[in-house]
Structure 1
Amino acid sequence: MAEPKRHVIDTRAEYLEAVDLIAAGTGPIAIDAERASGFRYSQRAYLIQVFRRDAGVFLFDPPAIGTFDELQDVIADVEWVLHAASQDIACLREVGLDPHDIFDTELCARLLGFARVGLGTVIEQQLGVHLAKEHSAADWSTRPLPDSWLEYAALDVELLVDLRDSLAQLLEESGKEEIARQEFAAVLTKEAKPAAAEPWRRLSGIHGVRSPRSLAVARELWLARDAYAQEIDTAPGRLVPDSSLLAVVKAMPSSRKALSDMRDFTGRASRSELTRWWEAVERGLNTSELPAVRVNGDTLPPPRAWSERNPEADLRLKAARGAMAEVAEELDIPLENLLTPEYLRRLAWQPPESITPDSVSEALRDLGARPWQIDASAQKISDAFVEAHQSILESSEARS
């Protein structure tokens, strides 16, 4: 007998019935969310999948249901199992779903040293089940959702609890349970990045523009596109790609017709909204508020430039990286999970006045490193910095 087709729960009545069934289930909650990244402006969830043993799989339509307060009340104190939780937590919180305790199967696979950590790969490796991932980049704002997409979405959570149990056993065997606990907690408490002061500077290729007037045009075009994309909830790049905006900035057309005649100015809204783009160009051409070519911020220079700009920091970074690579290999944990690369760069660029394991520990703590990361790396970094400093002194003495 064929299994019944999956269906989307899109009414309050059916949603409340599902909440009762989930409440009667047992064990952890497996949860996932599908967005429409690359299609829509917003990062909202367009489908939320939930699985619990003795309850089953439920596929919810967030825009139709609204808030999920009732479900939150039922599952708030239960462990939630997610794969790459940091990608979904924001859109889950947007509808009122906020976990207190999580198990992140993707992060766990990283901590266990898995070479590949995609959900399909990890499930196949641990459970022997092959998952097709052909709909991962689909437009989940599509309505109605095709049956094949719903089946794919259901499978994303149906095996998550079994996977959690399998990975938890490996954590215990490898002695990494406490590491995982701290990492899961860090995902929940991580603050969202503050909005960039000048987000238009993210325009691809903008770093090559050196004229303040051209930058002003780039700014106005980016802001015009962003406002329109938000208004119609469409990904900005689908209206006019970055490459087209940059082509306008380089060409600096002097009239609406000149803009219209540009072959490099493409995109589905490049002509239908031509007036909008030309008005943006005019604002950039006429404004007296010209942006700075270079922005002084908190960003460190790329490490490849350190040897010239800060040779001592370059030596510290290289020495510490080598030491940390040894620790990562010993623990069988990826280097980027052993310690956030940005933390190491900042520490190497501006180390404590007195380099000791305690001062390095304090600096790492201030940057946001977890206790287990500090325990694993502070001594090694301190030794590496001291060694780098000694080599600098010896080199200086040799030259004199």
Structure 2
Amino acid sequence: MSSNSPSPETDPTPSPITALYTTITSSLLQTTRAANALVATDLPFQRTLNRDVGAQLDAQNARLLSLAERLLQRAAGDASVASSGAGPQVQAAHTRNTGVRNPPPAAGAGVRLRDVEDLDTGWRDVVDVLDSLLERADGCLDGVKRARNGLPEHKGMPRTKNDIEKPQTLFDDKQDNSEGRKFKPLLTQKPHAMMPLKESIGYGTNGYGHPYQDEIEAYEFPNSLYTTAESRPYPPFDKTEATFVDTLDGLAEMLKELKKVKEVAIDLEHHDHRSYPGIVCLMQISTRDRDWIVDTLKPWRRRLECLNEVFANPKVLKVFHGAQSDIIWLQRDLGLYVVGLFDTYHAACALNYPAKSLAYLLLKFINFEAQKQHQLADWRTRPLSADLLAYARSDTHFLLHIYDNLRNQLIASSTSLSSSDPDSNLIRQVQDKSKETSLQRYEYPVYDVAHGLGPIGWYKQLFRTPAMFSPEQFAAFRALHHWRDGVARQEDESIHYVMTNHALFSIARSLPTDKTKLYQVAGQVSPIMRLRGDDIIAVVAKAVEDGKNGPDMNTVMREVEAVIDEGYHKRAAVREAKAAAKAAVKAEAAKEASPDDAAMLDGAPPAAPIAHADPAPASRFWGPALRAVGGVFAQKRNVHTDVRLALPLPDVGADVFGAAEDTVRAAGAKHVFVREEERISAAAVDDVFSVKGLGGRGTKRKKGWERMAESEGELVVPQTEEGEEEGDMDGALEGGEVEEGDEGEILAGEDTMPEPEGEAGRAARMARKRAAGKEKKRARKAAKAEAKKKAEEGGGGAAVEPVEAVPFDYEAQPSVLHGRVREGRGGAPAGRGKKRQVEGGYDAVRESG
């Protein structure tokens, strides 16, 4: 820029783009406000009041529809030029990607908006045009950003992942997605073999075998894994670079370096949106000193089988994180097998880490935060950006350092490294889990039409969705699901690219009869759906006809659940058999240290096992509240262990807490009175106490004791209304008129003359005590009356000055519920009658008021 050119900061003249942006924004703002104001008014009512208003509204509607139509056609025309009028190179690329020699006109090119109904029926075309405009705007903005940052423009590179040429069309080995085939391992030779390749993959009832099964089962971790060692430092991430391998010469050089090491870290990047089975796009390999990123999308990718020289070598430890999918992908695409796997995911599980992801381990041991937004990137893109390369490299650059730390913690957390028990030897546990991962075999996906089971079946998708279909809708859903899978196999596309799950459910619910309705209800319409719209309509029509006499959805779901349960029981039986065999081997190994065997050698019989009673079918406390089906409780949801009592307690009797052989008390049995001479003395039984006296208080008790006192020979026991007998000493004290504190004096009375034995003597004592209490009460009343009389006489008849009442302080008083029981006179506890109180309770209130 010359010195005479004004700088952007000082130039006051706005650029044309800025002026255009200001004008468009202002116009849109005014239009939006006017539209919102019109929505708030009752336009039909205004039409009825004034015909001129109706004519003006119709004219404005026609003008707006015409303007929208012209804009859509202009935008669609630009899009069609971009796809068909840009020259033969673009047309050839379109033909390679879609298989269509003459591409159809762009969506929206033929849209006509004569009235509002046309806008509703053609709404999908409007959305497609807007999407294309937004994509073009996004591409322009990306170009502006790259130019501003000084980055070169990607010549001829597509802007979206759907425009990338499918790399699998250029592979030397073509993908075959047809059904009914068994996957045969891609190996042409087997390095580090214990059994020849032909014998190890022999074809059986379950297909071809795992070529390295014997080698994996015989593998044992090296001794270095059982020794604590300081973790080796990793090269600085920002000061080193990875080597990109995209040639055969680079592959040979990398293989030469890998044969020299004892430990390697491996990871893969996968893409499954534009391929039916998926495709491995990158392979990252790291040693202690170097990083490699291998391009696995080259036409000669099957030549990567030479890496089995390292991958199948039991002397080289292969460190993965979460290798369950990686093992399958390596077999399917590259013919690679892993012998000597250490999965850091299983190590994190054995150590009970709160999280098991690689991002968590990177943050824990490296303090490195991975940029996981690139995890779902389109890894088919070439050339890869610097951000994608850095993300891919970070997955393996630190993994061997993480392995060092996990190994030391596994050793420290194990109780016995020499034991074969995985619970006490965590290294053994990780080894066993890693072997199970390595022994996985890839098989071609099989579509289950009848039951919809398997990873690509319809059952799991329908089970997770709260959808309730009619027989016609259910038949359409199953037919569309099967059609989608078949088209995806033919086009080598993912099922979600052919038709999204939302479109699948929407079409099954609506059952459209024409393509216009189909595109309206589908939402997002893929290019394949547009090309095969007539096929979809035919599939729906046939399914509706078959569904009229077809099975109900709930009936089919129950049948599938029965098949799942049967398979589960079979697998459970196999697991139990394996567990029993393992337990037998374990018991045989520990037989020498068994205390029972040692006792038998000394001539003593072995210790008898502890007998455990079988659980009762019903609770004696709650009754048969838990219903069982076939001995198994019918409970499929998760049950909380912290059960809290939320049921009313039943009538609890002594039979509930007694032994099973105790006699059960008959329902509604009455309390039986036992005479004193027939009762067990307190000296013989000192652990029995009375919780509460039987009977209530009132006149009947008083009269009963009075009749008892009058009787001379035989005790007369009155009956309550409920039929319960009374005659308890505690009940007499509770129902009597004994003042607080008087019981002590009554019990410690001065009368020491001999009394009759039996109930007559007891009645006499009670009558005498009651009479003494009444006498004391009359004496206290007389003393109070005499004191009051003397006070009045001493005052000469003058009026007594009232005493100002002191307000009662409730906060200063102790709690009535938790107050201390006051003692009666003579040190005896206060009686249990209605006048027994606690400190700060009734007495305090009575004295203050």
Paired residues for 1:319-358 under 5 Å: none
Residue of structure 2 aligned with 1:116, choices 326, 332, 355: 355
Aligned-partner SS, 1:285? helix
Aligned to 1:165: 404
Aligned equivalents of 1:292, 1:8: Cα separation in 2: 57
- Shift in alpha-carbon separation, 1:392–1:292, aligned structure 2, 3 A: same
- Shift in alpha-carbon separation, 1:34–1:240, aligned structure 2, 3 A: same
Cα contact 2:507–2:518 (8 A) shared by 1: yes
Once the two structures are TM-superposed, the CA of residue 228 in structure 1 deviates from its matched residue by 2.9
Aligned to 2:539: 280
Residue of structure 2 aligned with 1:22, choices 223, 241, 258: 258
Aligned-partner SS, 1:53? coil
Aligned-partner SS, 2:473? helix
Aligned-partner SS, 1:267? coil
Structure 1 gaps of 5+ residues are 302-341, 353-359, 373-385
Aligned to 2:19: none
Aligned equivalents of 2:432, 2:531: Cα separation in 1: 51
Once the two structures are TM-superposed, the CA of residue 3 in structure 1 deviates from its matched residue by 5.0
Cα contact 1:221–1:280 (8 A) shared by 2: yes
Aligned-partner SS, 2:534? helix
Residue of structure 1 aligned with 2:505, choices 246, 250, 255: 246
Residue of structure 2 aligned with 1:266, choices 521, 524, 544: 524
Cα contact 1:35–1:43 (8 A) shared by 2: yes
Tell me which structure has the larger Cα radius of gyration: 2
Cα contact 1:48–1:60 (8 A) shared by 2: yes
- Shift in alpha-carbon separation, 1:91–1:221, aligned structure 2, 3 A: same
Residue of structure 2 aligned with 1:221, choices 459, 467, 480: 480
Aligned-partner SS, 2:271? coil
For each residue in 1:285-332, what CA deviation from the matched residue of structure 2 results, as whole angstroms up to 9, or x when unmatched?
A: 34589567313343249xxxxxxxxxxxxxxxxxxxxxxxxxxxxxxx
- Shift in alpha-carbon separation, 1:60–1:368, aligned structure 2, 3 A: farther
Residue of structure 1 aligned with 2:563, choices 273, 277, 298: 298
Q: Which one-letter code corresponds to 2:266 in the other structure?
A: I
Cα contact 1:29–1:75 (8 A) shared by 2: no
**Which gives a bigger RCO, structure 1 or 2 (Cα 8 Å, sep 6+)?**
1
Q: Which one-letter code corresponds to 2:353 in the other structure?
A: F
Between the two proteins, the alignment pairs up a number of residues equal to: 332
For each residue in 1:219-239, what CA deviation from the matched residue of structure 2 results, as whole angstroms up to 9, or x when unmatched?
A: 222222223333444332234
Paired residues for 1:69-108 under 5 Å: 69-77=305-313, 78-94=316-332, 95-108=334-347
Aligned equivalents of 1:264, 1:23: Cα separation in 2: 54
- Shift in alpha-carbon separation, 1:96–1:191, aligned structure 2, 3 A: closer
- Shift in alpha-carbon separation, 1:100–1:391, aligned structure 2, 3 A: farther
- Shift in alpha-carbon separation, 1:397–1:149, aligned structure 2, 3 A: closer
For each residue in 1:207-263, what CA deviation from the matched residue of structure 2 results, as whole angstroms up to 9, or x when unmatched?
A: 634434322221222222223333444332234321211111111123334323x34
Aligned equivalents of 2:582, 2:484: Cα separation in 1: 36
Q: Which one-letter code corresponds to 1:42 in the other structure?
A: P
Paired residues for 1:52-71 under 5 Å: 52-54=287-289, 56-64=290-298, 65-67=300-302, 68-71=304-307
Q: Which one-letter code corresponds to 1:84 in the other structure?
A: G
Aligned-partner SS, 2:355? coil
Aligned equivalents of 1:46, 1:366: Cα separation in 2: 44
Instruction: Indicate yes or no: 2:442 matched with 1:208.
Output: no
Instruction: Indicate yes or no: 2:35 matched with 1:35.
Output: no
Cα contact 2:319–2:403 (8 A) shared by 1: yes
Once the two structures are TM-superposed, the CA of residue 160 in structure 1 deviates from its matched residue by 0.9
Instruction: Indicate yes or no: 2:356 matched with 1:132.
Output: no
Q: Which one-letter code corresponds to 2:265 in the other structure?
A: A
Aligned-pair identity in percent equals 22
Once the two structures are TM-superposed, the CA of residue 39 in structure 1 deviates from its matched residue by 5.4
Once the two structures are TM-superposed, the CA of residue 34 in structure 1 deviates from its matched residue by 0.6
Aligned to 2:438: 188
Aligned equivalents of 1:396, 1:196: Cα separation in 2: 53
Residue of structure 2 aligned with 1:392, choices 611, 617, 622: 617
Once the two structures are TM-superposed, the CA of residue 395 in structure 1 deviates from its matched residue by 5.5
Aligned equivalents of 1:146, 1:388: Cα separation in 2: 69
Aligned to 1:317: none
- Shift in alpha-carbon separation, 1:167–1:291, aligned structure 2, 3 A: farther
Aligned to 1:314: none
Residue of structure 2 aligned with 1:50, choices 255, 260, 285: 285
Cα contact 1:32–1:157 (8 A) shared by 2: yes
Aligned equivalents of 2:621, 2:296: Cα separation in 1: 65
For each residue in 1:102-148, what CA deviation from the matched residue of structure 2 results, as whole angstroms up to 9, or x when unmatched?
A: 11112211210111121121122123333332211112122222221
TM-score, normalised with respect to structure 1: 0.71
Q: Which one-letter code corresponds to 2:392 in the other structure?
A: A
Aligned equivalents of 1:36, 1:256: Cα separation in 2: 31
TM-score, normalised with respect to structure 2: 0.35
Once the two structures are TM-superposed, the CA of residue 33 in structure 1 deviates from its matched residue by 0.6
- Shift in alpha-carbon separation, 1:96–1:351, aligned structure 2, 3 A: closer
Cα-Cα RMSD = 3.8
Aligned to 1:362: 576
Residue of structure 2 aligned with 1:177, choices 427, 436, 442: 427
Cα contact 1:224–1:276 (8 A) shared by 2: no
Aligned equivalents of 1:117, 1:216: Cα separation in 2: 42
Aligned-partner SS, 1:145? coil
Aligned equivalents of 1:240, 1:149: Cα separation in 2: 29
For each residue in 1:121-180, what CA deviation from the matched residue of structure 2 results, as whole angstroms up to 9, or x when unmatched?
A: 112212333333221111212222222111111111111111111101111111111221
- Shift in alpha-carbon separation, 1:70–1:192, aligned structure 2, 3 A: closer
Aligned to 1:10: 246
Aligned equivalents of 1:127, 1:202: Cα separation in 2: 39
Aligned equivalents of 1:361, 1:389: Cα separation in 2: 25
Q: Which has the higher helix share?
A: 1
